């Protein structure tokens, strides 16, 4: 093949600096081989949202925001260039049959985690409804799950009024007997963002709830340590479900359900760093970012940073690969 100098393929970066590697390049499209370490999979479903949501666009946006970071952590003086983050691609959603779409999320994530037992899959929503299938698949392949849910909301709504939506994933898991309430710890629950009935449901089912008031009084890190200790008593592995709307509207302007009174991004990052190091954390999802509402992709940018910080700390674990 003839080569023409200065002609580059469509889609290649317009400029390359020999001294900077882009985090986006750590993403390697899955090639069918056995996967170890951190991986991502897109679950681009947001037609299941109660309000209009473009959250299905966020897997692609988060990937492109990875490209705005480099591979080098100066705080750890570590270049992650040799780390592979496997990209399993996106789960294909049905145009009109949303239950089929939800079923595909479950079955694909189950198949992935069955085949790739050393992989820590980060599922990129989509809205929070994707967590129901994702967590079920996690437990079916990884043993009894302990869930740390960052969220302003319980997501324990009844499923009769609107079916399995982004307001119901944890209710679905409990109702179907996939988890019991003690497997679930919710952090960041906020005033005037939830119904009393669902708080009662949480209490009745033994769900642990830490409010923003709790976080302000005790600090996120202290509560995370408590949570992991508690979950390790009764579960095999910990799964993080990160609804970005746990953050204050000033830090996550691109979530459909923005509001005041939430977490700051510095605390969240600190929390993720700690969880990344923790041996028991084996699964994660990042949900509820609508790129059509965001400002300059700030919220997807933060999600990409979360992935990098998690992966960095994960690779520092004693037995990590």
What is the spatial distance between Cα 261 and Cα 241, in angstroms, rounded to a whole number? 20
25 binds its own copies (CB under 8 A): no
Closest CA to 26 of 69, 89, 55: 69
Rg (CA), the chain: 19
Phi–psi pair at 166, nearest 5 degrees: -75, 0
Helix or strand or coil: residue 120?
A: strand
Residue 20 has which token pair?
Answer: 């900077």
Stretch that binds Ca ion, among 67-75, 120-128, 132-140, 224-232 (CB under 5 A): 120-128
Judged by CB under 5 A, does residue 151 bind Ca ion?
yes
- Partner residues linked to 37 by β-bridges: 119
| Measured CA distances, 293 to 123, 139, 153, 254 (Å) | 21, 33, 20, 5
Report the residue number, 35 or 257, with the smaller CB distance to Ca ion.
Answer: 257
| Minimal distance, residue 212 CB to its own copies, in Å | 8
Site for Ca ion in 248-267 (CB under 5 A): none
Query: What are φ and ψ of residue 257, in 5° steps?
Result: -105, 60
Taking the complex as a whole, the smallest distance from the CB of residue 18 to its own copies amounts, in Å, to 6
Shorter beta-carbon distance to Ca ion: residue 84 or 193:
193
Q: In 3D, which of 253, 303, 257 has the Cα closest to residue 58?
A: 303
Q: Residue 52 CB, nearest distance to its own copies (Å)?
A: 5
User: Contact with its own copies (CB under 8 A): which of 38, 39, 44, 149?
Assistant: 44
265, HSE (Cβ side, Cα atoms, 13 Å)? 16
Instruction: Give least dist CB 234 to its own copies, A.
Output: 25
Stretch of 36-44, 219-227, 232-240, 278-286 contacting its own copies, by CB under 8 A: 36-44
Q: Out of 62, 63, 173, 284, point to the residue binding its own copies (CB under 8 A).
A: 63
Interface with its own copies, residue 48, by CB under 8 A: yes
Question: How far is 231 from 17, CA to CA, in rounded Å?
Answer: 45
170, interface contact from its own copies, Ca ion, none, CB < 5-8 Å by kind: none
Among 229, 233, 296, 319, binds its own copies (CB under 8 A): 296
x-marked contacts with its own copies along 238-277 as a string, rule CB under 8 A:
----------xxxx-x---xxxxx---xx--x--------
68 to 127, contacts with its own copies by CB under 8 A? 68-77, 79, 81, 87-99, 104, 107-108, 111-112, 115
**Of the candidates 236, 279, 298, 316, which one interacts with its own copies according to CB under 8 A?**
298
Instruction: Give one word for 45, left, alpha or beta, with left for phi > 0 and alpha for psi -120 to 50.
Output: beta
**Vertex 41 angle, CA 8 and 166, to 5°:** 130
């Amino acid at each position: 093949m003839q080569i023409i100098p200065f002609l580059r393929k469509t889609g290649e970066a317009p400029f390359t600096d020999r001294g900077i590697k882009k985090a986006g390049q750590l993403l390697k499209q899955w090639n069918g081989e056995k996967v170890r370490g951190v991986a991502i999979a897109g679950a681009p479903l947001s037609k299941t949202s109660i309000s209009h949501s473009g959250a299905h666009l966020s897997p692609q946006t988060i990937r492109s925001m990875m490209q705005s970071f480099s591979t080098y952590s100066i705080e750890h003086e570590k270049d992650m260039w040799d780390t592979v983050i496997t990209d399993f691609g996106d789960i294909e959603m049905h145009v009109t049959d949303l239950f089929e779409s939800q079923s595909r999320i479950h079955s694909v994530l189950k198949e992935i985690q069955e085949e790739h037992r050393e992989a820590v899959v980060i599922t990129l929503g989509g809205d929070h409804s994707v967590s129901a299938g994702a967590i079920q698949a996690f437990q079916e392949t990884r043993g009894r799950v302990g869930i740390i849910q960052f969220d302003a909301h319980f997501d324990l709504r009844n499923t009769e009024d609107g079916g399995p939506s982004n307001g119901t994933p944890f209710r679905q898991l409990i109702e179907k007997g996939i988890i019991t309430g003690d497997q679930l710890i919710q952090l960041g629950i906020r005033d005037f963002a939830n119904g009393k009935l669902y708080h009662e449901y949480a209490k009745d089912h033994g769900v642990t709830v830490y409010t923003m008031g709790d976080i302000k009084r005790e600090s996120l890190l202290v509560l995370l340590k408590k949570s992991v200790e508690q979950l390790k008593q009764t579960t095999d592995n910990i799964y993080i479900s990160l609804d970005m709307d746990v953050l204050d509207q000033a830090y996550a302007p691109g979530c459909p359900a923005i509001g005041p009174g939430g977490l700051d991004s510095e605390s969240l990052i600190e929390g993720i760093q700690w969880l990344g190091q923790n041996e028991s954390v084996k699964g994660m999802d990042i949900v509820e970012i609508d790129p059509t509402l965001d400002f300059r992709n700030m919220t997807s940018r933060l999600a990409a940073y979360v992935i990098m910080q998690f992966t960095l700390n994960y690779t520092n674990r004693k037995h990590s690969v």
